[in-house]
Amino acid sequence: MIHPIIFESQFCIFISEFSEKKIILMNIIDDACQLLERSFTPRVTKIFSLVGFLYVASRAVKSASTMIRSLPLPGYDLAQRYGVGSWALIVGIDSLGSALALQLAEKNFSLVLIDADPNLLNLTATKINQKVPEIEIKVIQADFVNSLQNEFFDQIFAQLGELDISVLVNATGISRPVGMFHWNSESEIMNALSCNIIPMTIFTRRLASAMLRRSEKSAIINLSSAAAIYPVPMLGIFSATKAYIDVLSRVLDTEAGSKIDVITVRPWNVKSVVSKKSPLKLFEVSSNTLAKSILRSLGRESSTAGTFRQTFQTFIGKAPIIRDYFTHYFYENEQNSNLSKQENILLI
């Protein structure tokens, strides 16, 4: 044990040395600031002002360009671009997936629809055939909660056979689990990962090779979410999986080159899923409107928020005060609706 007098003496020495070093450091910082101030001649100041102006101007031009490209401009003739008589594979047909299926059918693509709900599959196929009776439709029932099981995808691709698939739409996904991350059970988390990440990854992996061998171009549409770039509290797993889709899509767009048009879609609100009391109601769009906008952007853009309104929403959402407001709104809304789910689960 150190004697108290010795300890006090050593402590005083330490404080003294620390004070001396602090004074030296402050002197160095002061000298550096004075040197920097003297270096800022009028010419240097003008250069920095010019750099700042060019940066702001480039950001403004980029934002304006993004807004203009989101206007309802005419798109490509997709059947000619990707091959007349080819097939579109739509994985997940709830809401936006079914809207994209109908739009592709009207552009003379035959369809393969895959979903977990057999009733929804048959209903969607019937509605599309009533509007576009000349195209062929195949349906495959598959519950992607089981996507990690052995031979799950082998069974699906066996049913696809040798179809010339030129367009892949990865639209499967669930928003559950909802609530604080530590409220969610491991089974809920695994179900979300199995539905939101695995199908998109495996379907893209298996079809990309065949698409690259085609003589015509091909396309991959990956449905992400605005939650990929603006994470939503109480929807952490959903936000994280959508960010995965967004990042992988951008990588694929670079790797595939000009042979495959890859587009990641980061929409905000669709009318079917937004509360009437939501402050975002001004920006919400129908799934049909969004689907038309996506297909107009296909081949021209590698990412889109969807419509002009939703692109504008993404733009203003970059302002910290707006972003913080919506984050707070979503957090409070989801927290109030999920308080009953609290289980006080301890994270280890």
Residue 114 belongs to some domain of the structure: yes
Residue 188 belongs to some domain of the structure: yes
Of 48, 46, 24, 44, the residue nearest 35 (C-alpha):
44
Residue 14 belongs to some domain of the structure: no
Are the C-beta atoms of 250 and 265 separated by less than 8 Å? no
What is the total count of domains within the chain?
1
Averaged pLDDT, 197-215? 95
Of 203, 263, 255, 254, the residue nearest 76 (C-alpha):
263
* Res. 46: pLDDT tops 70: no
Q: What is the CATH number of the domain that holds 302?
A: 3.40.50.720
Averaged pLDDT, 334-347? 45
The model's pTM:
0.73
pLDDT reported for residue 201: 96
Residue 164 belongs to some domain of the structure: yes
Helix boundaries (H) for the chain: 4-39, 42-69, 78-82, 96-106, 118-131, 152-160, 186-196, 198-213, 236-256, 287-297, 308-316, 320-337
**What span, in angstroms and rounded, lies between the C-alpha atoms of 219 and 76?**
12
Question: Which residues constitute the domain of residue 171?
Answer: 79-319
Average per-residue pLDDT in the chain?
A: 79
pLDDT digits (tens, 9 = 90+) for 133-158: 999 999 999 999 999 998 999 999 99
Are the C-beta atoms of 112 and 138 separated by less than 8 Å? yes
Residue 344 belongs to some domain of the structure: no
pLDDT digits (tens, 9 = 90+) for 2-28: 444 444 454 454 445 555 655 677 777
Residue 306 belongs to some domain of the structure: yes
Residue 51 belongs to some domain of the structure: no
pLDDT digits (tens, 9 = 90+) for 160-176: 999 999 999 999 988 87
Residue 124 belongs to some domain of the structure: yes
- Residues forming a β-bridge with 111: 88, 137
**What span, in angstroms and rounded, lies between the C-alpha atoms of 228 and 238?**
9
